[in-house]
Amino acid sequence: MQAAKTRSKWAEFLDLEIDPASERPLFQQIYLMLRTAIVSNALSPGSRLPSTRQLADRLDVSRTSVLTAYEQLIAEGYVAGQAGSGTYVSHDVPQAILASQPPAAILRKANRRTLSEAGQRYAAVAADLVVTEHMAFGTGCCSIDAVTVEAWRRISAQEMRRFDPINLGYADPMGEYALRNEVAQYLRAARAVQCDPEQIIILSGAQQAIDLSLRLLIDPGAAVWVEDPGYFATRAALVAAGAKLVPVPVDGDGLMVHEGIARAPKASAVYVTPSHQFPTGSVMSMARRLDLIAWAAKSGAWIIEDDYDSEFRYVGRPLASLQGLDRDGCVIYVGTLSKILFPGIRLGFAVLPEGLVSAFKAARYLADRQPPTPHQTIVAEFMRQGFLNSHIRRMRQRYREARDVVVESITKELGDLVEIEVPECGIQLVMHFREAISDLAVTAEARRAGVVVKPVSPLYLEAEARSGLVLGYSGFDLHQLRAASANLARATLAVARRKAS
Ligand SMILES: Cc1ncc(COP(=O)(O)O)c(C=O)c1O
């Protein structure tokens, strides 16, 4: 709404210059400059032109020359004058004229010709990178309650009072020390991670930790173990990096380490989600953790440990992180505020073995210099004052209820058709179809009913694919979850009926 009413005044920034030596009359030069700006879309429809007096002063010409140019533009329909409120670029500039410009598609095509091999790999995975919508059962959505909103507002206001050139200048690419210190304390206590603030780099989410790890540790063609089924965004990042993916199956105890060793004993790295395997939800057993670390220590492989949502644990104590068990400096521990707080804040972190710190610091500097300072200081203060702990406690309660409501509603609606793995932690669950129902067909049918789900079968590489859906339950109230469960059940039954007929 607001945008439609606001008139752009970018005309002030146009590079307009007249040529006093030209034989073309001044009014015509002004007319042509403005017409070119309009036709090339440098001035978009609705933009306000400078007043005739301002433009005459700026170009150092008589006002009559500018007035004459404006009159011609009005007469030809390029601009419209509004008494008392100025002159604006018309919304209906003749289409024939605009069409004479090179269409954007041609420019885009030209760009594609310049892609490097790496660029082509990125382009190839683009279609897999969907953005989750905030609709039940979208994954990775978050809830925020009034206590958090209030604390956030207060602390933001407090931090913004320190709004000065020193606090808003270039800063350490590793991130604000105050935040790294809070993160270190939190990880030592909650996740048995062994770390000092000096080893922590603040990043824009787990995804950047994964991206930098691949850039710095993986050469094109290097073998990397990935969980099968596994997290699509890491898989896409590996494809883009030119790595050779080695799918390693997963069971109820997490990644089957012995299978990985049998398939690629000399792999350069492994990407693993041990606290809450994505998507199956299994927790890697202690025996497997020790096996994985022993293999990496012996073979020289890196372990990228993605601990993306273990804060929300509903039963018992979490197992120690892989990083906490590592004695050889082979684990890069990756954490994120996307689930604990909200994904839009784009803050996460990695705990680096000492030997990797300078390479990560340089890579961050070269990618985008540093994380934004204001959000870091707000989060550091939010943590220091104990609001993150209490937020996690309250959300854990809320998400547990949400999980239980979804399990109960889906079981009631679909009974024996599905099998639900009730997750002990995290913010999503997997429901598998017991009958041969296509998860892709249900996903499409559910979408028509306004429900967003992720099919499981495309997350498999070589392991025998199961048909099922990932359901996120963290960002929605119980009423929304019940309604979405009913809609999803209807969609599933419709697909099952179509198959039977
Ligand atoms: C397995 C896994 N890792 C990490 C993330 C979080 O990524 P980020 O911190 O970049 O938002 C997600 C989010 O959906 C995820 O599912």
Q: What is the distance in A from the centroid of ligand 1 to the CA of 438?
A: 26
CB atoms within 10 A of CB 135: 17
CA dist., res. 96 & res. 100, Å (int)? 7
CA dist., res. 372 & res. 284, Å (int)? 35
Average pLDDT over residues 373-387: 97
List all residues whose CB is within 6 A of at least one atom of ligand 1. Answer: 139-140, 205-207, 231, 273, 278, 306, 308, 336, 338, 343, 348
pLDDT value at 14 more than 90: no
pLDDT value at 1 more than 50: no
CA dist., res. 199 & res. 186, Å (int)? 14
Atom of ligand 1 nearest to the CA of 204: 10
Average pLDDT over residues 404-430: 95
Higher-pLDDT residue of 48, 109: 48
Give the predicted TM-score (pTM) of the model: 0.89
Atom of ligand 1 nearest to the CA of 206: 9
pLDDT value at 215 more than 60: yes
- Condensed to tens digits (0 to 9), the pLDDT of residues 229-262 reads 999 999 999 999 999 999 999 999 999 999 999 9
Could you give the count of Cα atoms lying within 13 Å of 355 in the half-sphere of its Cβ?
A: 7
Could you give the count of Cα atoms lying within 13 Å of 410 in the half-sphere of its Cβ?
A: 28
Q: Which of 211, 275, 308, 375 for mutating ligand 1's site (highest number of atoms within 8 Å of CB)?
A: 308
Strands 269-272 and 223-228: parallel
- Condensed to tens digits (0 to 9), the pLDDT of residues 169-204 reads 999 999 999 999 999 999 999 999 999 999 999 999
8 A C-beta contact, residue 386 and residue 272: no
pLDDT at res. 108: 55
CB atoms within 10 A of CB 15: 7
Q: Measuring from atom 6 of ligand 1, which residue has the nearest CA?
A: 206
CB atoms within 10 A of CB 405: 19
Domains of the chain in start order, with CATH, are 2-99 (1.10.10.10), 144-388 (3.40.640.10), 390-500 (3.90.1150.10)
pLDDT at res. 110: 55
- Condensed to tens digits (0 to 9), the pLDDT of residues 76-119 reads 999 998 767 889 999 887 655 655 555 555 555 555 568 999 99
8 A C-beta contact, residue 306 and residue 210: yes
CA dist., res. 464 & res. 436, Å (int)? 13
CA dist., res. 444 & res. 455, Å (int)? 10
Mean confidence (pLDDT) of the chain: 93
Q: Measuring from atom 12 of ligand 1, which residue has the nearest CA?
A: 308
CA dist., res. 8 & res. 435, Å (int)? 58
Atom of ligand 1 nearest to the CA of 306: 3
Instruction: Calculate what percentage of the chain has a pLDDT beyond 90.
Output: 83
Q: What is the distance in A from the centroid of ligand 1 to the CA of 309?
A: 8
Q: What is the distance in A from the centroid of ligand 1 to the CA of 254?
A: 18
Q: What is the distance in A from the centroid of ligand 1 to the CA of 116?
A: 27
The DSSP element (H or E) to which 407 belongs, if any, is: helix 387-414
